[in-house]
Amino acid sequence: MDLDQLIAHYFGTTDPDAADAATLDAARERMGVDFGVERDPSRRFALWTLMDAFGFAPPPAEAFEKTPELRAAAERYLDAAYRVERDGTPD
């Protein structure tokens, strides 16, 4: 999935910072619903990472309770994101 396409799909623009509060709320609701019904693992993971970027993704253990490999990937993603935020480097 292309990140710009996802953002444009949910926010109606490739610049979500330009979206008003109502648009942000609607995008969050749509992403949550789509995440809940998505069955393709790669699309589900992409949606989860986008939800995480906007601060409302469920924890990996909850989001991927039935797929341990995706749960582990999500935990690694969060670890790397934390290191980048803390240190400025993913390693």
Residue 79 CB neighbour total at 10 angstroms? 11
What does the pLDDT read at residue 66?
A: 93
For the chain, give the mean pLDDT: 92
pLDDT digits (tens, 9 = 90+) for 38-62: 999 999 999 999 999 999 999 999 9
Q: Give the chain's end-to-end CA distance (angstroms, integer).
A: 25
Q: Is 66 helix (H, G, I), strand (E, B) or coil?
A: coil
